[in-house]
């Protein structure tokens, strides 16, 4: 956990703890009066003079502290030591109430557990251990003299003291229950802390991705402007020439150049739009990747014929995967297009579809080109990085993003015998956190 995440974690904890503590202070001040009325009724019914004196001292000290803390909280809010000090003093007041109303035979003995649970779930580990030790120590100081028979007058006269074996059982049960209450509270606290840390880590990761994406988008805006400048100048110049030569022979060659430059600009803009817009949700279904790849091979026969490149698919089908066929086609199209362009005249592009034993489907495309240059090999999927003279450097970035949206990936590496191998890996069944269950006859849309 880095320092920034730790600060955020502490700030969120303090903010929510302040709300809880504020409610606790208000509740304690309002309920405290009613509790002391009940204690006063117990003491009056008992009639012991020492208990009367104890009641007055207890009431003055406790209510003074309660209302002092309420005023201080409204004035200053929650400070670093507010909760630990309040809980430590709360343990003291609580044990004093239990002691004064009968000790191990007190009707208020149950009050030990709510305070122990609050301390375990709200305090940092160091302060929680201190309060926990204070609770055990207070219980020991109350139980030992009573079990030893040194304080026979402690139980209320109209309640009486339970038999000695019962007193031992009550004392042992209190110790065990206090330990169990603290253990459960600490476990709950750790669970919520882990959940909060995971949420902060995911948020930081998302923010880092967003910052990286924004920087790449900003950088690519300049690259796109530069890429479009030259073809626009060519289109402008050829258009002016065609206007001056109107009525003469058809300028076929110039029209072809115009067409190719417009297509080039359109491709650059489409790749930029695919990169700049957020990934739209998946619309998934069971897809035969072999059939999908065969369709792409047919669509690329014209491009391959221009470079006299032979296309071949190997592997036995069908190979099914649950995916968005439109997006997977876009990935395969990009990888196949790159392989054809990278292949020399008379080259051979091999497309292979198979599945492995760990539930993954794989589409592998191998060309016979020169492979990835060293300066590009480690950065091929970064926006704007390309080895093409007229490329935007966005195709592979978008392809990997689409594959990872499915829980898969796109890999690119040089083949041992020359050329380059592009590999699309997809899970045959989408992970549970990606695929959302839908009703019968519906299409699953996944963000």
* More confident: 332 or 357: 332
Cα separation, 348 vs 334, in Å, equals 17
* More confident: 84 or 389: 84
Fold classified for 280-446: Heat Shock Protein 90 (3.30.565)
The owner of tokens 């000695």 is 164
Residues 6 or more apart in contact with residue 345 via CB below 8 angstroms? 307, 308, 309
310-314 and 348-355 strand pairing: parallel
Residue 430: per-residue pLDDT: 67
Mean pLDDT on 358-363 = 85
Mean pLDDT on 218-223 = 64
Cβ atoms 415, 364 nearer than 8 A: no
Tens digit of each residue's pLDDT (9 = 90 or more) over 51-66: 888 888 887 887 777 6
Tens digit of each residue's pLDDT (9 = 90 or more) over 238-254: 676 666 665 555 566 66
How does residue 43 score in pLDDT terms, banded at 50, 70 and 90?
confident
Residue 446 has pLDDT above 50, yes or no: no
The domains of the chain are located at 3-206, 280-446
Structure tokens at 115: 């305070």
Cα separation, 321 vs 385, in Å, equals 31
Give whole-number Cα distances, 276 to 216, 224, 397, 401, 405, in Å: 9, 12, 11, 12, 16
Tens digit of each residue's pLDDT (9 = 90 or more) over 136-153: 888 898 889 888 888 888
Residue 184: per-residue pLDDT: 93
How many whole angstroms from its chain centre is CA 255? 54
Is the bond preceding residue 318 a cis peptide, omega within 30 degrees?
Answer: yes
- Average pLDDT of the residues of the chain: 77
Cβ atoms 352, 364 nearer than 8 A: yes
Q: What angle do CA 146, 148, 149 make, to 5 degrees?
A: 65
CA atoms within 13 A on the CB side of 105: 21
Cα separation, 146 vs 104, in Å, equals 8
122-139 as b/e: b if 16+ CB within 10 A: bbeeebbeebbebbeebb
Residue 292 CB: number of other CB atoms within 10 A? 18
pTM listed for this prediction:
0.49
How does residue 442 score in pLDDT terms, banded at 50, 70 and 90?
very low
Cα end-to-end span (Å), the chain: 28
Q: What angle do CA 27, 29, 32 make, to 5 degrees?
A: 95
Please name which of 298, 285, 289, 359 lies closest in space to residue 317, comparing C-alpha atoms: 289
Residue 384: per-residue pLDDT: 54
Residues 6 or more apart in contact with residue 430 via CB below 8 angstroms? 282, 284, 322, 323, 406, 407, 446
The owner of tokens 């970064």 is 382
């Amino acid at each position: 956990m880095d320092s920034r995440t730790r600060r955020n974690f502490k700030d969120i904890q303090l903010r929510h703890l302040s709300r809880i503590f504020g409610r606790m202070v208000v509740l304690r001040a309002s309920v405290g009066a009613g509790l002391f009325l009940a204690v006063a009724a117990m003491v009056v019914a008992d009639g012991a003079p020492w208990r009367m004196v104890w009641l007055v001292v207890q009431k003055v000290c406790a209510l003074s502290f309660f209302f002092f803390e309420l005023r201080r909280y409204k004035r200053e809010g929650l400070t670093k030591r507010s909760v630990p000090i309040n809980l430590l003093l709360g343990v003291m007041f609580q044990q004093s109430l239990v002691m004064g109303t009968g000790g191990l035979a007190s009707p208020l003995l149950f009050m030990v557990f709510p305070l122990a649970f609050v301390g375990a779930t709200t305090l940092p580990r160091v302060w929680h251990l201190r309060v926990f030790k204070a609770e055990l120590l207070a219980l020991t100081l109350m139980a030992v003299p009573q079990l030893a028979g040194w304080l026979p007058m402690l139980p209320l006269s109209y309640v009486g003291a339970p038999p000695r074996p019962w007193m031992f059982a009550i004392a042992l049960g209190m110790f065990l229950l206090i330990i169990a209450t603290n253990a459960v509270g600490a476990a709950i606290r750790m669970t919520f802390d882990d959940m909060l840390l995971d949420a902060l880590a995911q948020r930081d990761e998302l923010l880092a991705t967003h910052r990286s994406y924004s920087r790449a988008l900003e950088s690519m805006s300049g690259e796109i402007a530069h890429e479009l400048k030259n073809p626009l100048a060519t289109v402008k110049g050829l258009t002016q020439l065609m206007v001056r030569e109107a009525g003469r022979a058809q300028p076929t060659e110039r029209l072809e150049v115009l067409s190719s430059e417009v297509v080039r600009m359109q491709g650059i803009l489409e790749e930029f739009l695919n990169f700049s817009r957020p990934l739209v949700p998946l619309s998934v279904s069971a897809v035969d990747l072999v059939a999908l790849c065969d369709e792409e091979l047919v669509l690329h026969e014209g491009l391959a014929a221009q470079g006299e490149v032979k296309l071949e698919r190997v592997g036995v089908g069908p190979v099914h995967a649950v995916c968005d066929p439109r997006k997977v086609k876009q990935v395969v199209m990009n990888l196949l297009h790159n392989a054809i362009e990278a292949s020399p005249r008379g080259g051979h592009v091999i497309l292979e579809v198979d599945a492995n034993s760990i539930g993954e489907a794989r589409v592998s495309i191998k060309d016979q080109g020169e492979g990835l240059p060293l300066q590009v090999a480690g950065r091929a999927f970064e926006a704007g990085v390309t080895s093409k003279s007229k490329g935007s450097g966005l195709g592979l970035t978008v392809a990997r993003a689409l594959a990872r949206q499915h829980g898969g990936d796109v890999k690119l590496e040089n083949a041992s015998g020359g050329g380059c191998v592009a590999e699309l890996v997809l899970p045959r069944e989408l992970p549970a956190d990606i695929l959302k269950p839908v009703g019968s006859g519906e299409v699953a849309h996944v963000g």
